[in-house]
Structure 1
Amino acid sequence: MEDPSVLVRKLTRKNRRLESLLKKYKQNSHLQHALIQLSEQASTVAELTLLYPAIHSILEQYLPSKSFYVVLQNQFTQGLELSYFVDEKDGISVPLHEANHFSQGITGYVFKNRQTLYLNRQQMEHMSAQGLFKALGTQAEHWVGVPIFREKTIIGVMVSQNYAADEHYSEQQVELLEVMSLYLATAIERVKKRELLESEVKIRTRALMQSNEALNTEIEQRKRALERQQILFKIAELATQFSDIDDVYQQVHQIMRSITFADNLFIALHDKASNWLTFPYSVDEMTQYKPRPFANGYSELVITTERSQLIDTKRAQVLIDNEIVKRPDNYQLQNAATSWLGAPLKTAKGVIGLIACQAYNHEYEYNHEDVELISFVSNQIASVLQTHLANQALKASNLELEHRVAEKTKELRQTNLHLQMQIEERKKIEQQLYHDAHHDPLTTLPNRLLFLTQLEKTLQKYQRYPDNNFAVLFIDLDKFKDINDELGHQAGDQFLIWVSKAFSECIREHDLLARLAGDEFVILLDHLSDRQQAEDVAKRLIRVMQQPFCMKGVCMQSGASIGITYSNKDYKNTDEIIRDADAAMYYAKNAGRGRYEFYHPLLSAASTQSKQTEYHHLSALPVHFRSTEIVNMANHGQHIVMLEAFGEHPVLGSTSFDILKKFAAAKDEQLKIEMQLLGQALEQATNLGKAQTADVLFACSCAILESTTFGELKQLLSQRASNLCLLFDESEIRYASSMQLENLKELCSLGVAVGLNDFAKDRCDLALLSHIEFKYLLLSSTFSKRVLQQNSYDVQLQGILAVTALKSIQVIAKGPAILNFRSLLERHGLSLFFGKQQSLSGTSQSDPATAHESLPL
């Protein structure tokens, strides 16, 4: 077996050899890459000034060469000249321009010895002390110079240096510089040949351009001829296309702009009879031209000589010195034109004026070519102007005749205008009288007459189109007499004005607000889709009236009692509508004020004292129950039934006990009746459970949760069926007392199923669902309808479904004909809906022993 130490030595030698080979391979790769880049630059750069920076950029990739320069020998002077120089410290501060600068330094030393030289700072100082060369510029820490050869002749030196002691040059880096220098001469030759070739191309191109100049001159002449022809066409169009002389002047200006500088231009006409100059058209940045007598100006010079005149500052001075041109005493020299060009307007009858252009502040200098052009154009323009001026004179004579006719016509119009003004005045008086007759003088609101007229139209429209529902709100202000007594009648008037403005902001633009008399207001709401819209308006009115009215430092609280009547096919005239709305208002006022109530027939039925007593005894009314099946689109095995109690009223017929209790019964009797109805509902739930297992929902009021009846309620529920679910209105639960809420939670703990009825009618309060363990949640019909109409309600529904899913609460959509929309509501995540309503055979409340038949599901 071989000795391990020998084996280690062999492996060490092999590693060294591999490292040496790797270093050589890397060096060769760098050399190859650098040469490829040098070749690419030599093939692409257009001149030597671009080649040297490219070489410098290549070298910076492989060695520290921020300070780099190239020196080449001038073949004529034989001196060394700098071709490229970049230095970190010296820049161009070294006197490179001095004669024999490089020949005396270390660069000249390398050039003479024709060998690569690499020195550090100490070596350079030592050799400089020996007098081998002079130390010039800032001493570098490391300096390497490589001779540049063309074949065997040295032509220059390439130098790289740095000023950092730790950045020395390796043998491979020096070798790279030497290899680059070998190819540098070839690259320089290639670039010089390219420069020479480009120079020859430029010379030939220049010769071709000179030969083309003659051709361009001929083309320009033809082009100028065509332009003049186009100008003639435009001038010819002036005679036919433009009837207004002002339009002609503007078109002339446009033509002048197309041939020369004409930012400042005027046209002057000479009247020989009066010997005056007029200026019908002028555009000038300095001067405003006004009619003046014929004098000794530039314009007069053009007219008298009948020749075009080109006047610059020198000629202007000569004309003034010779008194050919005289300037007025108030002339401002700083406003004088530096170049002026004018041409006469000649016709068969002689010179009629001139056209002139001028430039200020040497912005443009007119020349003889401009004189030729304006002379050519002016001759053509003159005839056109003469024609238009003649037409203008003819029009003037026609205008004089028209003026006489107009004067006569004006007299007739004045007479007609006077009559028209009298008619308009009478119309205004009639309109004011109509307004005064149909509007309240204090609040400017429509009065009773106008309101009844509009209500009559609305009723007739409803009778033709029953879908156009409407509502009337009868409003009586609370404590108005107190405001009059405390603050005075003037304050009362101001209060009524304030109320009218506040109410106007609570309704739509097409709704009608009117003042009937005193503190009574009435509103007509048209184009309604449901009763909820009328409720929303009533709530806004009540909320507005909760704000105090302040005057003279005293604030008083008022309010509003509102009665609402909704459109009904039984209405035959407007008196019935006002009567019912008024009855509902009095009911709201008697029920506590600051509230609203819808009209119900019981309000009219209980108008007499004798009948009122009879209807208060609800216990005497026969009772029957109706059940509504809850359709389950997701699970056909689950059965849910909604149970409702109805009383056979002698006036109203079969009416829900919820309505009957509201209008007729006192509170203690309501509780008694409700407990009796609950007992009968438990019997109905038992019978329905025997026929087929089903959850039975029954609506109750929070009054049964009060301490006086809660014990009786628990005893009643413990003796009967457990499939009955008690429903409580969301609005009652929201305002329930703490005792009622505690009793409701106790029912849940005893295993009694409870539900939330009419949820999200006014608002969506999800907090209610987290406090009490509800089993069912019945959405209000208003909310179910709005889910299909507005995206915002769909977002609220998704929130409800998310919370109820966490609490295992079943959500039911209820409302009239809700099944017609079940496919749409299913897309929103609902699966339970009110179904068909059926009657259960009823019993008299006085005879509970009569059988209660169950409804087959």
Structure 2
Amino acid sequence: MESRAKDTVHAIRQFPKLKSLLKKYRQLKTMQSGLLQLSDLAGSVNDMSVFYHALKSVIQSLLVTDSFHIALCDADNNLQLSHCHNPVESRLHENVDLANWRKSLTGLVFLRQQPLHCSAKERLALAKSGDIVLYGSEFVDWLGVPLKRGEQVIGVIALQSYDKKQYFSARDCETLAFIAEHLVTAIDRVKSRELLESSILQRTEKLTETNKQLQREIAERQLAAKAQQVLLNISELTAKSQALGNFYQALHFEIGKLLSAKNFYIALLSDDKSELAFPYYCDEKLVQLNTRKFGQGLSEMAINAGKPILLNGEQFYTLSAQGEVTKLKSKQYHAIHDLPRAWLAAPLSDQGEVFGVIAIQHYQDENAYQHKDLQLMRFVSHHISIEVLRQKMQQQALKSHEALEKIVNERTQELQATNLNLRMQIDERRKAEARLYHEAHHDALTQLPNRAMLADRLSYSIRHLKRHPHYRFSLLFIDLDRFKMINDTLGHHAGDQFLIEIARRLRLCVRDNDTLARLGGDEFVVLLDALQSTEDVEEIAARIINSIAQPYELDGHTLYSNASIGIAQSRVSYKDANEILRDADAAMYQAKSLGRGRFVFFDDSMREQLIASMTLEQELRQAIKNQQFELHYQKISHLTSTQAIGFEVLLRWQHPSKGLLTPSEFLFMAEETGMILDIETWVIEEVCLQLKLWKQSQEYENVYIAVNLSGRHLIQANQLAKLIELINVNTIEPERLILEFNESAFAQHTELALKGLRKLKSFGVKLALDDYGAGLSSFNFLHNYPFEFIKLDRSFTRTLNHNEKNLTLVKALHELGTQFGYRLVAEGIESAAMLKKLQNAGCEFGQGYHISRPAKMTKDPSSAKVVNINSA
């Protein structure tokens, strides 16, 4: 009994604890239920306003009050009230001063990023201290916690209690903080779904608008095709031999396809021009109009004007012979209420003499006809005039039973023609759709797939490779040599025929399952599908090169071309079509640089070369902008007297990181990109300045300065005039300039370059042929071109040490110079022995390290000395 009593006492003592645990269990269950309800809302609701409205029941089930509001941060990091549920103050959100949100309890929670529990007394204290501004009714208790996404505060949720029996406890604060954590995720999910639905709606609207635009374009094309067909039908009607009445009616029918021609008539003048007859008259108000005297009607107005006339409302317009529409100044022939709302007419004439008029009119719509319809009426009147003149003497009337039979036949034919036209329109629409798809995916000239279709095929192959790693394909990028020369020489038509023949040959070289496409210009691409080995690619590439190399017969000319092919093989690393096209293009440029007429497989080093080339181009542009160039001068001396006759200016680039660069390291890029013209403009200005300094110091007063220029100055439009103007502006002594050009300036534009040289010669500068003996070295340059100096290339001069035949050639060139008016200059003289040989051969002038090394010039007018800055 004693033990039982102890158990009873112990149970009584544990009862409050068990009751507290049961209460906590019920609270946790309620919170879990609320959070599950919150998660369900986030997964099912697509509209934030619906979500906030449903959130009320969750708040009410978990906390002591259902008065709450949510404020979220906008793009400018300002709080905006997103939702407010407050039964006590239904218009609370209208009283919130959003511009002064920092002076509110919600703003304090947001700025401090911590929960805030504030009673009415504490609220008044905060207001007195200036931390907040009071608005709305006085509450009993207030609780707010920040809404956080990770470490970032994105808003605030706050509760208000207006019941003196309801105060927020620490558990309420924990509960609200716990709800806030899940509320951010729920808001993000609903907003994401809301944004997704908005995006889908916008895309749907855009697709709808695109479809409408396509429908409008189809309608416009159909209208244009219909107008063309009507004009063709009118021309055919004129060519047919038929009764004039039938012709009028058929013409009326054709015009009615394009214009509102329910009211249509033709009026003819009598021979004495005193009466006006109406052989054809169709009108909704008058059944027939009898012959009447020539008076003051609208028909007479068109006959007197002798031009097409348009009446829109109360305004008259006419069409000149040049197709210009002007307002017609004429008196009013009728009262306004007697005129049709719209009237369109054109005179019928024979060799300038008007004998009638054709007209259509509308009694309801003044905009039934437009200005563009004047041209159509002019066309129609021309054909009616032809037919009337041809059948003027024929019988106008037929027997009544024949007329009736013809009317029945014509109506039957019209019905058949209408049905046939409807079927033809359906067929034409289908053909048009197929044609539009074909045009969008094929090259108009060669009918090969274009870039769009190739990109689709390439994308498919790349996707297929990712699913099937053993699948292999290759891309061949083909560029034609000499195509620009063919286009420029024989014209674009011959160039087009050449491309069509190239396409035909390429088709014969590839397999049926391969894709041959033209990207534009002379660039073709072949996608080789389902390859077994690299040898297959090489075989097809060699076959293409051999086929392209065969001669072409175009317009009586035999032409030759080559193909440079870059090959990129399939890689799993390729993400899209542009990447493999880029690599094949890089390999193609490598093939061109190796001598053309060959194929090269892509490797990663080619991309590095392209990046290096692009870097050099960017650095060169910066060098031009910052003037990182400097000029070195090498003396040109008389080989016998050793007296200086001039200097050749040598360009150097003071690179910020690579040091001093010679032209061979960067001029090829300047020439390729066209920057050479900007560089050489700077060189000319600097050289002219140096000439001025010499003149002031009276040293080197009579010497020349030789400047090597690009051939672009001779062959590019207006560039020669700019060069002459540049020299004219910067110096008054152009005769002290020697402009040097090498043979490459005359390779493709011989006549144009020769004209430019002669113009420079007449301007007064000296001309020199540079690097003679390094290239073709045609003798044509010696007697046909106005050169005053022929400069032997240093590579040619170097051979004189071991080649006596070339020494004989120097003697011959010297002797020819006395006949043709040029003087010989040897470059690259590097020893006394070489100098002696050139003197014995008769060479007059020379330059080289043995005579003088390149050096910079001072810019001090009082001391224009040559300052040697090179030790090598």
TM-score relative to the length of structure 1? 0.33
TM-score relative to the length of structure 2? 0.33
Please identify the structure whose Cα radius of gyration is greater.
1
